[in-house]
Amino acid sequence: MLMLTFLALVGNTTPSGRASVVFYWCSDAKTIASGGLRIGLKGPLAEYDFIIVGAGSAGSVLASRLSEDHKTTVLVIEAGRGESLFTGVPILAPFFQQTHYTWPYLMERQPGVCLGMENQRCFWPRGRAVGGSSVINYMIYTRGLPKDWDQIAADGNYGWSYNEVLPYYTRSERATLRSLKDSRWHGRAGELFVEDVPFRYSTIPHTSLFADFENSRSSPNTK
C-alpha cells in the first residue's frame, strides 16, 4: 500500500515537488515501521541548566558531554527532524539538499567567487535535522589545513593554531578508519563517529585513486 501511494503521488509532480513527496514518504514509512517515534519521551521541564540551539554535530556532542553529569539538565532545540534510513547513503546527499532537511542559503557575492552562478551567488545548503549538515554533506568528515589554522592564530586569534586545536578534534572523535587506526591525528573515544562507508571499497573502485592522490600531497586528513 505504501509503495502504491508513493507511485501515485510521484507520477505527475515537478522535480521539486517530487523531492518533497519522496522525502515525506520515506519519513512516514520509517515512522510506521517503527511504530512511532515519540513513545516514552518525557515532557519538558520548567527550567534547564543548559539550553543548546541546534542538534548538529557540535550541538549533539556538546549536549552529550554536558549530560554526563546526571544532575545536569540539558535541553537541545532543533528546528528539523531526525535523520532517516536514507540520509546515511552518501550518493543521496544532493537529493536531500533539496528537501526540508536543508536551510537553503545562498552565499553573498564576493569578488572572484561563484562566477558561473546566477547573480554570482552559490547555493550553500546547511542541515536542518538532528545531525545538522552531517545529514546532507555526503557523509564527508574533514578539517581545515594546518596552515589555515596557523594563519588564524597569526592574525591575532591566540590559541587557535593547528597544534592547539588538534587535541579538541581528537577528543571529539571516535574514529574507526581502517587505514588510520593507529594515527595520533585521530581520536577513538569521543562522541563523533568517523568511519568508513560500508560499501566504499566494494562498489566504488576509483576511491583508491583519490586516496592515493591525497597521500601524495601529505594531506593531514590522511594521517
Nearest-angstrom CA–CA distance, 223 and 213: 13
Tens of pLDDT, residues 123-133: 999 999 999 99
At the topology level, CATH places domain 146-222 in Arc Repressor Mutant (1.10.1220)
The residues facing 76 across adjacent strands are: 52
Considering the entire predicted model, what is its pTM? 0.64
C-alpha cell at 219: 594531506
Q: What is the pLDDT along the chain (223 residues), one digit of tens a residue?
A: 334 334 433 444 455 555 554 555 555 455 434 444 455 567 789 999 999 999 998 999 899 989 999 999 999 999 999 988 888 888 899 999 999 999 999 999 999 999 999 999 999 999 999 999 999 998 888 889 999 999 999 999 999 999 999 999 999 899 988 877 678 889 999 888 888 876 555 555 666 666 676 666 655 555 5
Report whether 185 contacts 170 (CB < 8 A). Answer: yes
Q: Which pLDDT score is estimated for 35? A: 40
Q: Is 53 helix (H, G, I), strand (E, B) or coil?
A: strand
Model pLDDT, residue 191: 83
Q: What is the pLDDT of residue 54?
A: 96
What pLDDT is attached to residue 33? 42
pLDDT of residue 85: 82
Q: Give the residue among 10, 5, 44, 59 at the shortest CA–CA distance from 28.
A: 5
Within the chain, all domains assigned CATH 1.10.1220.110 are found at: 146-222
Q: Report pLDDT for 21.
A: 47
- The answer to whether 107 and 113 are in contact (CB under 8 A) is yes
> Hey, which residues does 131 pair with through a beta bridge?
56
Alpha carbon distance 72, 87 (integer Å)? 31
Contact by Cβ (8 Å): 9, 24: no
